[in-house]
Chain A
Amino acid sequence: DGGITQSPKYLFRKEGQNVTLSCEQNLNHDAMYWYRQDPGQGLRLIYYSQIVNDFQKGDIAEGYSVSREKKESFPLTVTSAQKNPTAFYLCASSQTGSISYNEQFFGPGTRLTVL
């Protein structure tokens, strides 16, 4: 059964702690993305990766870090430098092509609450 998995679904952390969110896909997609969703603000891009061992900052990368050591995995670390980390985090992946990128497939999301 192909798809994207994110774990855990809910995560609670104390202020000042780093936390890593997991994202795994078995769709054989080259591109992977991390978004943050806040009420009334849509999806904002944090980081994206178009190929293994390479990634680019999105619009709100400050306070976050990523790695892409394997095609299937794109973990996101929310560091203590992120001033307002409580949010819903969505991971997505897509195929890449010479003409245009295809649809993005989203994982179920992780709701992070920093206390």
Chain B
Amino acid sequence: GQQVMQIPQYQHVQEGEDFTTYCNSSTTLSNIQWYKQRPGGHPVFLIQLVKSGEVKKQKRLTFQFGEAKKNSSLHITATQTTDVGTYFCAGRSGNTGKLIFGQGTTLQVKP
């Protein structure tokens, strides 16, 4: 079945360093979403990418969707302690509401 793989599983950075998480799908996606889950919390929607090659920015966060619509990345510039949490990508293929989540990347930021 369809799989969405996400790497790395964990990342520890010093505050101020950059961070990137990568997401790869076994099939072409109609769109991809990114979520953030703070420790002890629930996932919160960050963004949705739909177009091939799309790039979107939210302050220090940059999201990319690959040309083949099978991979995506989230890059955080100059991490802060408030960025701590687990970041999930979630891909959708076809026209259903069903999302396939990656395993998540847990980010720890040392002050």
| Chain A residues near B (Cβ < 8 Å) | 31, 33, 35, 40-45, 48, 50, 58-59, 90, 94, 96, 100-109
Task: Give chain B's interface residues, CB within 8 Å of chain A.
Answer: 1, 6, 9, 30-31, 33, 41-45, 48, 50, 88, 90, 92, 95-104
A106: contacting residue among B42, B96, B102, CB under 8 A: B42
**A58-B98 contact, Cβ under 8 Å, with A43-B43, A103-B45, A106-B42:** yes
Q: A40-B9, A42-B103 are in contact. Are A104 and B98 (CB under 8 A)?
A: no
Contact at A100–B99, with CB atoms within 8 Å? no
Q: Is the CB of A101 within 8 A of B92?
A: yes
Residues of chain A lying within 8 A (CB to CB) of residue B48 = 100, 102-103
CA of A109 to CA of B41 in the docked complex: distance in angstroms?
8
Which residue of chain B has its CB nearest to the CB of A99?
B95
CB of A46 to closest CB in B, whole Å: 12
Q: Is there contact, CB below 8 Å, between A106 and B44?
A: yes
Whether A96 and B101, one on each chain, are in contact in the complex, defined by CB atoms closer than 8 angstroms, is no
Smallest CB-CB A-B distances: 3 pairs: A103-B45, A42-B103, A106-B42
Specify which of A44, A94, A101, A105 lies most central, judged by the most chain B CB atoms within 10 Å of its CB: A101
Contact between B42 and A43, CB atoms less than 8 A apart: no
Nearest-neighbour CB distance to chain A for B49, whole angstroms, equals: 11
Do A106 and B43 touch (CB < 8 A)? yes
Q: Which of chain B's residues have a CB closer than 8 A to the CB of A107?
A: 42
CB nearest neighbor in B for A93: B97
Q: What is the bound-complex CA distance between A35 and B42, given in angstroms? A: 11
A50 to B98, CA, bound (A): 10
